[in-house]
């Protein structure tokens, strides 16, 4: 059965690049467009990285440049994690192609509207999506699935003790998007940790699989160092690829999920960007999110190898 087409919104840096390649090289995926957003790096850099990744995948998917800054807070990029260029400062050449003329927010509206039932996969801060929904609230009804890499399932954050980077970077956008009524499937940061992280041996195996496999690991070199420093783990954790695995093969990949009300904190300093999952349904508020608790780690890792070798 043909899967609904996909639109990817991404602050394209190292793990985003791997996720984008997974989609572009999947046998049952039709990627309609990539829209870029500021987050890991500037939006201009994210656009270059998305174009470069598409080029490595021999794809001419259109790339549209979106928002340069969060709605209400100043941008604070994650160069300490992904490198100044977002791809580990390996000196990759500029892409051959340029972005489309249409801006990312307009493109999101146009592409989703003209493909009702499509799957929206968000790999970065939710600024573009929030702006698109504020311009076109009816867009909610055209999105078949909205897979969000963001938040944590009531566990530790990676940028503050309470918050995951994508929701923290633009908390106001995240709050609006979670409240908008989209069919959200939340792939929190937790999913990429523990056994889902690639061991050193698995990193070597992936890098040896193909030129693209080598790119997957090399562009994450800075991330590998940052993970080791932050959490003492030698594993390569890949948050966006776990979300993409859910988007591409939900039935095989998702082992445990349940529906809950999720609200994002935007007012507090201490808990800015925190995804508060009402996992015991104590508020009685209607669920707005399918929260993913567990994925099939073996299938996820096989999907990475498949993307490298397809
Ligand atoms: C998220 O933030 C970025 O560092 C990654 O690209 C991912 O989207 C993980 O918190
Ligand atoms: Ca990202």
Q: Is the dihedral of CA 249, 255, 261, 266 positive or negative?
A: negative
Q: What is the pLDDT along the chain (310 residues), one digit of tens a residue?
A: 689 999 999 999 999 999 999 999 999 999 999 999 999 999 999 999 999 999 999 999 999 999 999 999 999 999 999 999 999 999 999 999 999 999 999 999 999 999 999 999 999 999 999 999 999 999 999 999 999 999 999 889 999 999 999 999 999 999 999 999 999 999 999 999 999 999 999 999 999 999 999 999 999 999 999 999 999 999 999 999 999 999 999 999 999 999 999 999 999 999 999 999 999 999 999 999 999 999 999 999 999 999 999 8
Residue with tokens 């106001």: 172
Residue with tokens 């999907």: 303
Give yes or no for a contact between 167 and 179, defined as CB atoms under 8 angstroms apart.
Answer: no
pTM of this prediction? 0.98
Query: Pocket residues for ligand 1 (CB within 6 Å)?
Result: 13, 15-16, 40, 78, 81, 123-124, 149, 158, 164-166, 189, 239-240
Assign 3-class secondary structure to 50-107: HHHHHHHCCCCCCEEECCCCCCCCCCCCCHHHHCCCCCCCCCCCCCCCCCCCCCHHHH
Q: Which atom of ligand 1 is nearest to the CA of 10?
A: 8
List the shell of residues around ion ligand 2, using CB closer than 5 Å: 11, 16, 123-124, 240
Per-residue pLDDT at 310:
87
Residue with tokens 């309470």: 162
Q: Which atom of ligand 1 is nearest to the CA of 123?
A: 8
Give yes or no for a contact between 289 and 261, defined as CB atoms under 8 angstroms apart.
Answer: yes
Residue with tokens 């567990």: 294
d(CA 26, CA 136): 30
How many Cβ atoms from other residues are within 10 Å of residue 285's Cβ? 12
Q: Which atom of ligand 1 is nearest to the CA of 15?
A: 6
Ligand 2 centroid to 282 CA: how many Å?
31
Question: What's the gap between Cα 173 and its chain centre?
Answer: 15
E-strand spans in the chain? 6-10, 31-36, 63-65, 118-122, 143-149, 184-187, 254-260, 262-264, 275-277, 289-295
Q: Which ligand minimizes its atom distance to the CA of 193?
A: 1
Per-residue pLDDT at 71:
98
Domains and CATH numbers, the chain: 6-309 (3.90.245.10)
Contacts with 199 (C-beta within 8 Å, 6 or more apart), sequence order: 234, 235
């Amino acid at each position: 059965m043909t899967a609904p087409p996909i639109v990817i919104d991404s602050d394209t840096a190292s793990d985003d690049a791997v996720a984008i390649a997974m989609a572009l090289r999947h046998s049952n995926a039709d990627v309609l467009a990539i829209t870029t957003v500021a987050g890991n790096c500037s939006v201009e850099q994210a656009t270059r990285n998305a174009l470069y990744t598409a080029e490595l995948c021999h794809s001419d998917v259109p790339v549209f440049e979106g928002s340069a800054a969060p709605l209400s807070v100043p941008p604070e990029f994650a160069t300490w994690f992904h490198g100044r260029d977002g791809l580990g400062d390996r000196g990759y050449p500029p892409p051959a192609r340029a972005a489309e003329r249409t801006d990312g927010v307009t493109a999101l509206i146009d592409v989703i509207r003209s493909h009702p039932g499509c799957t929206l996969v968000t790999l970065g801060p939710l600024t573009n999506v929030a702006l698109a929904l504020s311009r076109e609230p009816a867009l909610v009804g055209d999105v078949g699935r909205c897979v969000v890499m963001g938040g944590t399932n009531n566990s530790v954050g990676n940028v503050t003790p309470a918050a995951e980077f994508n929701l923290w970077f633009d908390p106001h956008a995240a709050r609006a998007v979670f409240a908008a009524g989209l069919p959200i499937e939340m792939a929190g940061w937790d999913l990429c940790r523990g056994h889902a992280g690639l061991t050193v041996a698995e990193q070597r195996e992936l890098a040896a699989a193909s030129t693209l496999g080598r790119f997957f690991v090399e562009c994450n070199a800075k991330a590998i160092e940052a993970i080791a420093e932050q959490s003492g783990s030698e594993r390569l954790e890949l948050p966006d690829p776990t979300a993409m695995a859910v988007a591409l093969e939900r039935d095989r990949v998702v082992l445990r999920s349940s529906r809950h009300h999720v609200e994002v904190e935007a007012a507090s300093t201490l808990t800015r960007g925190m995804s508060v999952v009402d996992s015991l349904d104590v508020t009685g508020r209607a669920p707005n999110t399918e929260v993913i608790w567990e994925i099939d780690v073996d299938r996820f890792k096989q999907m990475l190898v498949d993307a490298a070798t397809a």
